[in-house]
Amino acid sequence: MRFSFSRLASSCKARLHQTLRDRTRPEIAFVLWPAPLSSPSPSTPFASRPPLPSAIPGSISVVKGIHRKVSNEFIQELKDILQDNMTLDYEERCFHGKLLNSYHRAVNVPDVIVFPRSQDDVQKFVIECNKYTVPIVPYGGATSIEGQTLAPHGGVCIDMSLMKKIKSLNVDDLDIVVERGIGWIELNEYLKPYGLFFPLDPVFRYGTMRENVINLQAVLANGEVVKTGSRARKSAAEYDLAHLLIGSEGTLVLRKFSYCMIQGQPDFDLVLALNAFWDTEAYAQEQMLIVQKIVSEHNGSDFVYVEDAEAKEELWKIRKRALWACYAMAPNNYEAITTDVCVPLSRLAECISKSKQELDASPLLCMVIAHAGDGNFHTVIIFDPDQEEQCQEAERLNHFMIHTALSMEGTCTGEHGVATGKMKYLEKELGTGALRTMKRIKSVLDPNDIMNPGKLIPPHICI
């Protein structure tokens, strides 16, 4: 059967929307605090939002890039490798070149989209791009929000969505080896009958993706395949390559497989509207009462806790859909900046309350969505992209929170990453020494700068 791109395009879009819903990961605790609203707030569901505007005026800038036309020879060689699993369709290129949940835009879109089906395709594809020095933009679920999957320099977007194989499930060792295209929810559906799950939620208990991926297999920019280690949980045999590569935002390698830790379903968990997981019922009840007392002492409202499986599912859904709930409070064309600063735990309350004060004083619609367990919290700042003063105010609030977090020895991003959106804060957070080291690593692994160029490392950093 011939492969149909229009079918693939619509299934990709459906998959992406599904992924967006699936990958909205719940965290430990959440509180939604709307600040005063000066703008009108008709309630419009996310599904009916029109396509995002192609450019945002004013202070919220469009990511610049230098576009070099890809040659016909290159396209022909890609076709020889990928046959029908690629497209030059303009609509598809625009779809992959925009972000669905973020205001960041790029001046260019990718020139080609490829959908590899095999490990072999991936490797040959990278060799080809390196030969012609064509930028590669890796594309997974496309839920990142700081510009990670934009293609400011054009090039090829490699959509991994057809690579979802489970290579091995090792129940006795509690690990699983999966291709990069599999989604978190899909993986958990697969694991459910075994009484197992791939965690991340809640992060304070299980750790982030970095802690849950033991090792990985990846293709370097020159086409060489590397494995960062074994399935053993611990190893003192190497540099910690896995953790260097996870979270490198596609700037160092193209990941093929991940060796992930999995867990048994907890014996008992209790979900609070301030959410948490505990091992025993008695401990859970005790903690819940303590939290309830604290909430009421501080004039908290709507404290909810549930034990029933269905009710827990419902409560998680509220958290998962928080971003769309925020969008629904504003007119259709409004955009959101979703912040994710993270500070040492002892400074969290102070950081949230300083941020909240600033947000409350702002004319913009702002919400705080907190994770109480790991020092990370989100705010959603809603603004009208067509009004310059609103763009500036949204940017100002974002700057304020980031600088507040940095002054508390925190980070500009606990989860969402850097890409193009947070690049400007890295020098202050990390210093030039760390950035130069990152640049050195990048230039050794990717001397032609083809791996997701223009992301993560500020362009002015020299080796």
Ligand X SMILES: Cc1cc2nc3c(=O)[nH]c(=O)nc-3n(C[C@H](O)[C@H](O)[C@H](O)COP(=O)(O)OP(=O)(O)OC[C@H]3O[C@@H](n4cnc5c(N)ncnc54)[C@H](O)[C@@H]3O)c2cc1C
Residues that bind ligand X (CB under 6 A): 23-25, 27, 101, 137-145, 148-149, 160, 180, 249-250, 254-255, 323, 415-417, 452
CB nearer to ligand X: pick between 173 and 324: 324
Q: How far is the CB of 255 from ligand X (least distance, A)?
A: 4
Crossing angle of the two packed helices 426-445 and 388-407, in degrees rounded to 10: 90
Tell me the closest approach of the beta carbon of residue 19 to ligand X, in angstroms: 6
Q: Please say which residue, 101 or 108, places its beta carbon nearer to ligand X.
A: 101
Q: Which is nearer to ligand X, 410 or 417 (CB)?
A: 417
- Cβ of residue 94: shortest distance to ligand X, in angstroms? 17
Are the beta carbons of 370 and 31 closer than 8 angstroms? yes
CB of 102 to ligand X, least distance (A): 8
CB closer to ligand X out of 52 and 173? 52
Nearer to ligand X by C-beta: 305 or 327? 327
For the chain, the three-class secondary structure string (H helix, E strand, C coil) is CCCCHHHHHHHHHHHHHHHHHHCCCCCCCCCCCCCCCCCCCCCCCHHHCCCCCCCCCCCCCEECCCCCCCCHHHHHHHHHHHCCCEECCHHHHHHHCCCCCCCCEECCCCCEEECCCCHHHHHHHHHHHHHCCCCEEEECCCCCCCCCCCCCCCCEEEECCCCCCEEEEECCCCEEEEECCCCHHHHHHHHHHHCEECCCCCHHHHCCHHHHEEEEEEEECCCCEEECCCCCCCCCCCCCHHHHHCCCCCCCEEEEEEEEECEECCCCCEEECCCECCCCHHHHHHHHHHHHHHHHHCCCCCCCEECCHHHHHHHHHHHHCHHHHHHCCCCCCCEEEEEECECCHHHHHHHHHHHHHHHHHCCCEEEEEECCCCCEEEEEEEECCCCHHHHHHHHHHHHHHHHHHHHCCCECECCCCCCCCCHHHHHHHHHHHHHHHHHHHHHHHCCCCCECCCCCCCCCCCC
Tokens read off for 271: 């979900």
Q: How far is the CB of 460 from ligand X (least distance, A)?
A: 21
Whole-number Cα distances in Å, 349 to 35, 117, 244, 275, 319:
17, 47, 31, 17, 20
Pair 374, 342: CB distance under 8 Å? yes
CB-facing half-sphere around the CA of 455: CA atoms within 13 A: 29
Q: Tell me the closest approach of the beta carbon of residue 227 to ligand X, in angstroms.
A: 14
Q: State which residue, 104 or 180, has the beta carbon closest to ligand X.
A: 180
Would you say 385 or 454 has its CB closer to ligand X? 454
Any residues with CB less than 8 A from the CB of 119 and at least 6 apart, and which? 256
Q: Minimum CB separation from ligand X for residue 171, in Å?
A: 25
Closest CA relative to residue 430, chosen from 410, 449, 446: 410
- Of 141 and 385, which CB lies nearer to ligand X in the complex structure? 141
We find the least distance from the C-beta atom of residue 172 to ligand X, in angstroms, to be: 28
Among residues 151 and 172, whose Cβ is nearest to ligand X?
151
Residue 21 CB, nearest approach to ligand X (Å) = 9
Cα(463)–Cα(445) distance, rounded to whole angstroms? 14
- Residue 13 vs 307, nearer CB to ligand X: 13
Which residue, 296 or 332, is less far from ligand X as judged by CB?
A: 332
Output the smallest distance, CB 249 to ligand X, in A.
Answer: 4
Closer to ligand X at the Cβ: 125 or 278?
A: 125
CB of 300 to ligand X, least distance (A): 22
Rounded least distance, CB 341 to ligand X, Å? 13
